[in-house]
Amino acid sequence: MALMLAACAGVPERGGAGRPAAAAQPLARLTVATPDAAHDLLAQLMAGEMALVGTDLKTAAAHYGQAAALSPDPQVAERATALAVAVHDDAAAQRAIARWQALGAAPVQLAQARAQLALDQGRTEEAQQQLDLLIRHGGADAWRQFGRVLLNARDSAQAGRLLEALATPQRLPADPQAWLAMSEMGDKVGRHAYAMQIADAAVKRFRNAETYAWAAQMRLKSGDSAGAKALLQQSLAKSPDDARLRLSYASLLSQSGDAAGAAKVLDHGLQTPDTYALRVALAVQANDRAALARLYGQLQRAPGKVREGSYFLLGQLAEMLGRKDEALDWYDQVDDDDPHAFDADLRSAVVLHDEGKRADAHALLEQMQTDYLDQPAQLRRAYAADAELYMREQQYPQAAKSFGRALQVTPDDPGLLYGRGLAYAEAGDVDQAVGDLRRLLQLKPGDVDASNALGYTLVDANRDLPEAERLLQTARAAKPNDPAIADSWGWLQYRLGHLDQAEQVLRGAWTANKDADVGVHLGEVLWQRGQRQDAQHVFDEVRRLDPGNASLRATLQRLKP
């Protein structure tokens, strides 16, 4: 500093008249060396992280490879190794491993990385040597690391061979979790016999609830439900308060046809939202309304977290018990983050509609269509539900519009095409109905319901009767005793002028199923045959079944009985 000041004092330069020249600043001559991007460690690390954020693993691997060459930090070299292996860049992986070793990586860490690289290159013998080193010297975490290497293998058959060669009962540690993990891995890579062997050996060695439960799962996968049931019984004996085990055992009993046994298993012990859900399902299956009422009361009194996790189930129970207002209250309490949030809103719309609050139901569905605009599956269901409610109201043009909006979300959806086709037909827009149903049959050739729907639509419009006959013959062959198909066939015979056959077929359909539309068709056939009194009797019965039936109204107006 003194030298600098002395130098400045010793140079009395002047600049301009009567004004001293500005002294030269020391920093003006200072040059800061800045590395180019390829040699800038921070720049490479930042670029690598940005690439990872964008899930561009290849770019991230390239930047981390550069960073590893510049950094003395072994963690950077470790990251570079993992990324190079992930993108299958063998040369870059070799360089990263060498750099990691030079920076002091532990032999076990290097063994894991080299095993991954050898597997990626198909060098099974080298991979086995490195994995053997990992198992022998890796400590308590060795088997988890071993499993991670095999899970990342590109060739599952190769991974399976190494698993069987190295993860033998003689080598596995005194830790049941390691045994179960190796058995599960064997199952994942297609080594089912090995998976079963390890599961059974784990049961014999540890005899705890978890090993029994896993062995039961393996038995069930192999088709041995009796063996699975016996093992689950032993598992429950070891841990009778484990709700998850009771749920598994009850599910198995239910699947094997022992619903009563399943219910008995679940009736006692700790209850969770899942156990309540299965108990309700079993009661519904048994059509046991008393059990449903009992479960509803129990669930209402359940501890806070269990009840809060069961709001949707409570709403369903209230619906099944006819307590519509209570159902709406429960559905309203389902949290937006709950997996059942969408279904709760959907059921609320249906309940509102059932209670005569049609405008509220449609308003809720419109709000859902906005809320789920970015979720196509839910959006499709919201539109379809709106359409179905309009169909119930016999507001067929609106139903067709809602089905159309759903089809914009999922074009050529068979269910939606079928629904819109029926809506068009009921609205009298025959050409549009025929177009949708023909398109559906292009997508699903020979579909029975579509064949019947299109055949009936053509018959009812009294057009393209040969095509209708072919379609209905296909449907009858598939479902010879279906009353709806019989109605279509009988109505075709009427259009063809075969009144005897029409009456016979329609009487059979009417006897099998007192459907209002079938009755209208039978009544018209009887009327045209001169059996006016019989026809009037059928029309009166239809009126009692469905006082507002549009087909009956139109037929009576045309016939003027």
Could you give the CA distance from residue 447 to residue 440 in angstroms, rounded to a whole number? 8
Could you give the CA distance from residue 97 to residue 190 in angstroms, rounded to a whole number? 31
Could you give the CA distance from residue 289 to residue 287 in angstroms, rounded to a whole number? 6
The ranges assigned to domains in the chain are: 448-561
Q: How does DSSP classify residue 447?
A: -
Helices (H) and strands (E) in the chain, counts: 33, 0
Could you give the CA distance from residue 560 to residue 521 in angstroms, rounded to a whole number? 15
pLDDT tens per residue across all 561 residues of the chain: 333 333 343 434 444 444 455 555 554 555 444 566 677 899 999 999 999 999 999 999 999 999 999 999 999 999 999 999 899 999 999 999 999 999 999 999 999 999 999 998 889 999 999 999 999 988 888 999 999 999 888 899 999 999 999 999 999 999 999 999 999 999 999 999 999 999 999 999 999 999 999 999 999 888 898 999 999 999 989 998 888 888 988 998 888 888 888 998 898 888 999 999 999 999 999 999 999 999 999 999 999 999 999 999 999 999 999 999 999 999 999 999 999 999 999 999 999 999 999 999 999 999 999 999 999 999 999 999 999 999 999 999 999 999 999 999 999 999 999 999 999 999 999 999 999 999 999 999 999 999 999 999 999 999 999 999 999 999 999 999 899 999 999 999 999 999 999 999 999 999 988 999 999 999 999 999 999 999 999 999 999 999 988 899 999 998 876
Pick the CATH number of 448-561 from 3.40.50.300, 3.40.50.150, 2.40.30.260, 1.25.40.10: 1.25.40.10
Q: Element (H or E) spanning 109, and its range?
A: helix 107-121
Q: Is 105 exposed, middle or buried (0-12, 13-18, 19+ CB in 10 A)?
A: buried
pTM, full prediction: 0.70
Q: Element (H or E) spanning 228, and its range?
A: helix 225-238
Report the DSSP beta bridge partners of residue 20: 14
Pull the structure tokens for residue 222. Answer: 């192999």
Backbone dihedral region for residue 122 (phi beyond 0: left; psi -120 to 50: alpha; all else: beta): left
Torsion over CA: 190, 249, 291, 280 (sign): negative
Could you give the CA distance from residue 387 to residue 73 in angstroms, rounded to a whole number? 63
3-state SS of 506-561 is: HHHHHHHCCCHHHHHHHHHHHHHCCCHHHHHHHHHHHHHHCCCCHHHHHHHHHHCC
Instruction: Please report, in angstroms and rounded to a whole number, the separation of the first and last CA atoms in the chain.
Output: 122
Backbone dihedral region for residue 497 (phi beyond 0: left; psi -120 to 50: alpha; all else: beta): left
3-state SS of 293-335 is: HHHHHHHHCCCHHHHHCCHHHHHHHHHHCCCHHHHHHHHHCCC
